[in-house]
Chain A
C-alpha cells in the first residue's frame, strides 16, 4: 500500500508534463486529460484513506522512501514521503477540491484558447501541493512550497497580456520568496542544530536543544508561513492575486495553497511547543491578520477582493489556533478543511456570477441576481451561512472551537485579549459577508451596458460549473457537524498533533452564546447599511478608515514608497556607481597610463639630433656614474 503514495504525486505531475509539452494536438482533449489525472490522484487518495482507516490509530503513518536526493557529507536529503493522518487530511482536501475545480474549469475556461495550458498548470499545482504535504523532510517540503509558488505565479499571471496580471504574479512570487527565505534559514538552523531536517528526527529531538534555538527556528517558520498564507506583514500579494482566473482563486488562493502556512506550523508543533515566545508571535500574527483581513474585506467593492480579504482573515483564525499549541492544532486543521469547502464554494459562486455578468467584478453593478441564478444563489448562500458561523453549519463548529481555544490561551489576560479579538472577528465576518450577499443577490438590479453597449444577460452557469458548487455546498453544510460528532476529527489527528482540552477563561456555553449574538449584530448592521437602503452604483467617498481599507490599509502604498521606489533609486545609483566608480578606477588607470605614454611619445620625435643628444647625455651620465662609483 505504501508504494501507492508516490502515485499521488506522479499522476498530476505526469498530467502537467503531458499537457505542457504536448503541444496543440492536445488542445481539444487537454482539459479532460487534466481532470482525469486529478481524479486519478483523488482515487488513489481515497484508497489510501480506506487502508489507513482499517488500521490502529497509532499505526496509521505510512512511509515511502524513493531515493537519496542530495547526499553530501552529513547533509542527507532524501526524496521520501510520509503519509500520516495530518497529511491524509490534506491529500483528500487537495485532490477532492482540486478535482471539483478541474471539473468547474472545463466550463469556466471553455472559451479560452489556452485552456490546455491552464489545466497543465492546475495539474502542476496539485503535484507540488501534494509534495508539500506528504514530504517527510523539510527540504522536500521546500520543493513543494516553492513549486506551489511557481504554479500560483503561472496561474495568477495566466492572462499575461494584462500588465496588471503579470505584475500581480510577479508580486506574489516575490513576497512569497521573502517568506521562503525564512524557510531556508529555518532548515539551515535545523541542520546545524540537529544535523538533519527530516520530520521524524527533528521533531523527536526538540527536547535536546535550547529554547532560544527553537524560538529562532519557530520564528523563521512563521516568516515562511506569513509569506505563503498571506499573513501580516507579508499579506499584500493576496488581493492582487485575484487577477488570476476565478477557479485558481478558489483552489489556490482560498482552499489549499494559502493554508500551507497552517500546515507548516501544525507539522512543526513540537518545535513551537518548546518555544512559547514563538507561539506568542504566531498568535499575534494570526490575531492581527484576522482583523486586518476582515476590515479590508468590509471595504472592497470587487467581489473577489472582498473574498480575498475574508480568506486572509479566516487563515488568521487558523494561524491563531495553530499558535495556541495542542489545544488549537486540531481545530486549526478542522477550520482549514471546512474553510476549504465553503470558501472554494464562495469563490466558485463568485466565478459563476462573473461568468454570467460579462466578467464584471464590481458588486455595486450587481444586485438582485438571485432571480437569475438560483443555483448559484443557493450554493453561495449556504457557503455564506457556513462562513459566518450560522449555528449547525460547518463554520460554526470549527470557528467556535477556535474562539474557545483562544479564550483558553494562558488562563489570564492573554486569553481575554485573543479570545476577544477572535470574537470581534466573527462579528466583522458576519458584517462583510452579509454585505457581499446583499449587494450581489438582493436589492434592485444595478447593472448597466458596458462601454461597447453590451448589456449583461445574467444567466445560470452550465452543469459542469454548478455541480462542483453543489458538492462544495454539501461540504459547507455538513462537514463541520460530521467532524464534531464524538470529536471524531480531533481524535483522528491526535496521534500526530497531540490534543489537550482547552479550559477557557469563561464557560463554553457563554462563548457560544456570545458568538451567536455578535454574529447577529454583524448581520443586522450590514442589513441596515446595504439591505434597507439602496446601494449607490459609484462608491461613496467613505470615512478615513473605509478609504484606507480600500487601499489595503495603506500597506501597499508603504511598500510602493519604501521598497519599490527605494529599490529603484538604489539600483539606479548602484548602476551609476558601477559605471563611474568601480569601472572608473579601472578606466582611470588606463587613461593615466595612456596619458603618461602620450607624454613619453613626444620624446620620439624622429629628429636624429635629439636622439644624439639623449645618447650623449646618457653616455655622460654613465661616465659620471662610473667615476662616482670609483670615487666612493
Chain B
C-alpha cells in the first residue's frame, strides 16, 4: 500500500481532532480530541519514517507518547479539580484566571 494514504488518514484524523477542540465544550471531549491530534501526528511521523527509510520518525513518535501521557496526567487532574469546584466540565466556564 502507498504510504501516502497513511498521511491522508493522519490529516483527516488531525482535522477531526482540531474541529473537536474548537467546537466542543466538554473538557473531557476537548481533551480526547487533543489526544486524537497527537496520535494523528504520531501516525504521520511513523509514515514518514517508513517513507524515508530511517528511524527518526518512530523515535519522535515515542517522545510524543511520553509527552501525551504526562499531559493526560496533569490535564485530567486539572479537569477533575475544576469539576469539583464548579460541578461542570465546560471549558467556557473557566474563562477567568481564578476559581
Contacts and interface: CB of A to CB of B under 8 A. Distances in A.
B95 interface: yes
B22 A612 contact: yes
Contact of A606 (B18, B23, B30, B96): B96
Contact of A616 (B22, B23, B92, B95): B22
A608 B95 CA distance: 7
A609 B91 contact: yes
Contacts of B95: 605-607
Interface in B67-99: 91-92, 94-97
A485 interface: no
A613 interface: yes
B21 interface: yes
B41 to A, nearest CB: 13
B97 A606 contact: yes
Interface string B40-77: 00000000000000000000000000000000000000
A609 B18 contact: no
A589 to B, nearest CB: 31
Interface residues of B, number: 12
Nearest to B33: A612
A605 B97 CA distance: 11
Interface in A594-632: 605-609, 612-613, 616
Contacts of B22: 609, 612-613, 616
A612 B27 CA distance: 13
A607 B25 CA distance: 10
Nearest to A606: B95
Contacts of B21: 609, 612
Interface residues of A, number: 8
B76 to A, nearest CB: 16
A605 B92 CA distance: 10
Is chain A's interface secondary structure helix, strand, loop, or mixed overall? helix
A330 B25 CA distance: 108
B94 A608 contact: yes
A274 B21 CA distance: 98
A34 B22 CA distance: 96
Contacts of A613: 22
A608 B21 CA distance: 9
Interface in B1-44: 18, 21-23, 25, 30
A612 B19 CA distance: 10
A607 B97 CA distance: 11
Interface string A266-294: 00000000000000000000000000000
Interface string A129-167: 000000000000000000000000000000000000000
A552 B95 CA distance: 80
Interface string A33-63: 0000000000000000000000000000000
Nearest to B23: A609
A617 to B, nearest CB: 11
Nearest to B24: A609
Nearest to A616: B18
A609 to B, nearest CB: 6
Contacts of B92: 607, 609
Contacts of B30: 608-609
A607 B91 contact: yes
B91 A608 contact: yes
**Which residue of A605, A607, A609 has the most chain B CB atoms within 10 A of its CB atom?**
A609
Contacts of B97: 606
Interface string A81-99: 0000000000000000000
23 contacts: A605-B95, A606-B94, A606-B95, A606-B96, A606-B97, A607-B91, A607-B92, A607-B95, A608-B30, A608-B91, A608-B94, A609-B21, A609-B22, A609-B23, A609-B25, A609-B30, A609-B91, A609-B92, A612-B21, A612-B22, A613-B22, A616-B18, A616-B22
Interface of A: 605-609, 612-613, 616
The 8 lowest CB-CB distance pairs between A and B, nearest first, are A606-B95, A608-B91, A612-B21, A607-B95, A606-B96, A609-B22, A607-B92, A612-B22
Given A607-B91, A608-B30, A609-B21, 10 more contacts: A606-B94, A606-B95, A606-B96, A606-B97, A607-B92, A607-B95, A609-B23, A609-B25, A609-B92, A612-B22
